[in-house]
Amino acid sequence: MLIFKVMAPLVAGLVFLSVTFPYSIAADTLNPDQPLRDGQTIVSAKETFALGFFSPGESKHRYVGIWYNKLPGGQTTTVVWVANRSSPLSGTNGSLELNGNGTLTINSMISLPMTMVALTNPVAQLLDDGNFVIRESNSSEFAWQSFDYPTDTLLSGMKLGWDLRTGLNRNLTSWRSKDDPSPGSYVVSINLEGTTQGNLWSGSTKKWRSGPWTGITFSNVGEQPRTYSHRFGFVNNKDEVYYMYNTTGTQIVHRKLVDQSGMLQNFVWIESTGMWNLFLKYPMNECLEYSRCGPYGVCDINVWPICRCLQGFKPKSPQEWLLMDASSGCDRLTTLDCKNRSNGFMIVTLAALPETSNAIVYTNINQDECRYRCLKNCSCTAYATANISGAGLGCVIWVKELIDLRMSSHPTQDVFVRLMAADLASISNKFSKKSQTKSVVLIIVFSMAALIIPLIYFYSWGKKKMIQKDIRGNGEFELAQLQWSTLMVATHNFAMTNILGKGGFGLVYKGKLAEGREIAVKRLSKNSTQGIDEFENEVTFIAKLQHRNLVRLLGYCIKGDEKILVYEYMPNGSLDACLFGKEKGEHLDWQTRFHIIEGIARGLLYLHQDSRLRIIHRDLKASNILLDIEMNSKISDFGLARNFGDCETMIKTRKVVGTYGYMAPEYTLDGVFSMKSDVFSFGVLILEIISGQRNRILLSNPHLYLLGKAWRLWNEGKVLDLLDPLISNSFSVSQVMRCINIGLLCVQEKSEDRPSMASIIVMLSNDDAPLPEPKEPGFKAIFSTKHDAVSNQNDLHTFNDITLTEQIGR
């Protein structure tokens, strides 16, 4: 028998059906003598859901499905269930039939999966919660229900998990693509091993886990936003193990789905806008990716590097850790030996319990008994309380390596990790010596001050020479220093066929290390006007920054005049190539473009506000946005970046560096830059992504300037004419217009009128948030200044697409 599943859409949450439904048959029911034919629908009593035949996206195949029909504030065609997802029909002559014994078939051949039923007077009914049920006409009990066979969508009242009496396992499975609802690569399921939890799988690889149920919530999920709160719970008894949420009796319309990119997403319907709003998704950051730091490695998204070993442990492969690959995890400093009882426990407060699928669970013992049982078991590596909701009962004992440990600013659970006495003593000594160390440090600092001050001058003079010898991040990080020979082998002697691109810095090559890891090798051109300052800048900043929307620096190499940086490899290249290259617009549907815009915004917010440093990028442009295998956007090239002090709001410079077309007016004209300068560049990027057009500055024809064109179309009420013709019809008009509005707000002439990146994130993620009307973009002044600059023959240097202007003061 076939398992039939479904899709709900990306980002905006819409699936556009390629057909319309001309009429519905009587009410919300299907009887044995009344087949449902292609072109007909049945609609639930309150018209919330409809059931019928449809073709998703550009597919020509026909499927039987259930979709939202009408919601407060508007209508939608969001599909939530598909019957024949693996057995599509090729024509429009299909029919869904309820047989006299209570079974469902499509075209009298395709049977839906169901338990054997023997009904005498069956009826099939579509309910207002989206459940399609079969029952006796005079009974309210269901003989079969679609809720037992979910697709990629979990609705209120649906169970995710197991019926242990029948062996029924209710999973969510993604669509293969937006046009193909057949089972995709990603599955969300509830496991039964250890402490039960939800898992997100990609094939046989675990991608994310919910963490165990704490008695309050799943430990890796946390609290739901109050605005969209709903009742949810977890049942675990001898008959059933399942998760379910319920919004019955509320005004909330909410759904969860696993999409084709492998994200578990949460949507809520916003009545005021008549649109879906995405408010939560998992995994939302790198530390939520499963086992990001390997066994005994701890992930903390708020520090750099994000991976470290537990105290009493060391990296298993130091070389891989230096290359920012911590997946091999950590080894103990001292091997456990429980025979002589020379071991104890170190307390680690974590955001969630480590992986528990291989743990031993005791349901009714306290923490003291839990400790005792761990000490008696020579295989025990750690223990913790299972339930933290008040009683504190329950015990989890790990007998294998600890995997998937994560820190958080809001830690929830203590884990007691077993260590040998020698390692415990070294940890204690570190703390006991702290107070003594402080006084010693103060004496040393004051003693050395007289020596350090005279050296400042010599440091300034000699830093360009020093960087050729070594690069270290003032004690906070250490990058891998790769051998020249290693990079020669990896790039086939820097072969022309390995060139990925070219910029002001020099050439970028694709490489492959001996262990198989693909890398991008950025080689500083010996003749480049961007030199050691930019090289040092890149290393200083990007090595200290860690975010899923920033490109990751893996290491460096210096050999004579050669200066090289090594990055993670981005399979989909640059946004510039995708938007304007030979294969222009390929894979860039509207959902992908919106996903890229969101990623750039999150990366900029991290730079401006959430990182340990406050960074102004100063060269944000399409060629500096790279795309990984899942089309996640990553900001790159920090050679021109500047660090802002806590009290600084803007800086004025005599050396204006950047790329015309992306530079804010105040920076171009007066050398003044701030976070709002990056906001201007981001606005240009939004308009380029939407239009598929470069923001070229053509002195001979200013009307072709993208900002001017967008402003004119906005005022004429024809702003959708800006949309790239390559974008198909599967887009939200209101979402596109909202993005154009945000883009125009970002490129306003006065910096104080532009929104902050924090405000932009809110604007992008909340469709019901009102937007102000934009003022005129800052493009007229740029044109006049460009004419002046040429006529006054200022010192203007141009290489590739980078323009450096030496300002003589204003």
Which residues are part of the catalytic machinery?
619
For every residue of 428-443, DSSP letters joined together read: HHHHHTHHHHHHHHHH
Sign of the CA dihedral running 521, 527, 529, 534: positive
CA gap 324, 543 in Å, rounded: 10
Count the Cβ atoms, other than its own, within 10 Å of residue 255: 23
Residue 463 phi, psi (nearest 5): -65, -30
Nearest to 602 by CA among 578, 579, 625, 576: 625
Distances from the Cα of 186 to the Cα of 1, 82, 266, angstroms: 21, 17, 16
For every residue of 625-663, DSSP letters joined together read: EEE-TT--EEE---TT-EEEPTT---EE-SEEEE-TTTS
- Provide CB contacts within 8 A for 521, sequence distance 6+: 487, 490, 491, 494, 508, 509, 510, 511, 564, 565, 566, 567
Quote the tokens at residue 313.
């442990």
Buried b / exposed e over 685-714, threshold 16 CB at 10 Å, is: bbbbbbbbbbbebeeeeeeebbbbbbbebb
Residue 214 DSSP symbol: -
Quote the tokens at residue 4.
């039939």
Nearest to 803 by CA among 641, 657, 670: 657
Q: Do 419 and 312 meet the contact criterion of CB atoms below 8 Å apart?
A: yes
Residue 1 DSSP symbol: -
The C-alpha R_g of the chain, in whole angstroms, comes to 30
Nearest to 482 by CA among 452, 429, 520: 520
Task: Give the total residue count for the chain.
Answer: 810
List the alpha helices (DSSP H) in 411-560: 421-432, 434-466, 484-490, 532-542
Looking only at the bridges linking them, the beta strands covering 36-37 and 95-98 are antiparallel
CA gap 665, 653 in Å, rounded: 14
The answer for 712, left when phi > 0, alpha when psi is -120 to 50, beta otherwise, is alpha
> What angle (nearest 5°) sits at the alpha carbon of residue 262, between those of residues 258 and 267?
40
Q: Do 199 and 188 meet the contact criterion of CB atoms below 8 Å apart?
A: yes
Q: Amino acid letter at 566? A: V
Quote the tokens at residue 462.
């000699």
Q: Do 140 and 156 meet the contact criterion of CB atoms below 8 Å apart?
A: no
Q: Do 546 and 305 meet the contact criterion of CB atoms below 8 Å apart?
A: yes
522 annotated to a ligand binding site: yes
* Binding site listing: 522
* Binding site listing for ATP: 522
